[in-house]
Amino acid sequence: MGPATASELIRCADGKIAPSLEELLKKDGYTPMLKSAVDRLTLWLRTHGILTRNLLPHNLMLSDRSGTAELFLVDSLGAPQVQNQMARMRR
């Protein structure tokens, strides 16, 4: 049907909206559970060749919906490349 963007509200296993890494760091600090989640995200980004200039803690959500605490990157709509592509699609 053509190019599009998709959005998802990231929730935890209990149905609550997933907290951001920023919230969790302020509340509990850099716990071993957060370190494991960051390590898994870093490995996933490297494995899939995804490059980013900087990951901001308010753009990373932590969800346990899969049974393991995982970080989800929720930002990109402000990226210039995405904005340019969206503008081209509207023409």
Tell me the C-alpha distance between 12 and 16, whole Å.
6
CA distances (Å), origin 49, targets 28, 42, 52, 61, 77: 31, 11, 10, 21, 20
In the chain, what are the domain boundaries? 21-90
pLDDT tens per residue, range 31-52: 999 999 999 999 999 999 888 8
For residue 15, what are the β-bridge partners?
A: none
Question: 12: number of CA atoms within 13 Å, CB side?
Answer: 11
pLDDT tens per residue, range 4-36: 777 788 999 999 999 999 999 999 999 999 999
